[in-house]
Structure 1
């Protein structure tokens, strides 16, 4: 199943093995992994709660 991350990126959710919410220098990002390899990352968020809500909304697309 593919989910739309943004205007240009669709992610194959069946292959994602790990999702990590990570604090970086300029904000919070969500990173998507297939095994040990990072395959995508999200835009910046102001808080972990907003990032978590975005993950729930995005990964529950039909």
Structure 2
């Protein structure tokens, strides 16, 4: 199943093995990994809570 990350990027949920919410210099981003390799990162979120809510809505609702 694919998730729309932004206007140009779709992620295959079945291949994502790890999701990390990072508070980096330029803002809060979600990083997506297949094994040890980072395959995508999200746009910026204003708060960690909003980033976590996005993850919960798009990845945890199917569990």
CA-based RMSD of the aligned residues comes to 1.3
Q: In 2, are the aligned partners of 1:29 and 1:44 still within 8 Å (CA)?
A: yes
Gapped regions of structure 1 (runs ≥ 5): none
Gapped regions of structure 2 (runs ≥ 5): none
Matched, 1:7 2:7: yes
1:58 Cα deviation (Å)? Answer: 2.6
Normalising by the residue count of structure 1, what TM-score does the alignment of the two structures yield? 0.88
Corresponding residue number in structure 2 for 1:29? 29
Corresponding residue number in structure 1 for 2:56? 56
Structure with more relative contact order (C-alpha pairs < 8 Å, separation 6 or more): 1
Residue deviations 1:8-44, cap 9 Å, x none?
Answer: 1110100100000001102100000000000000001
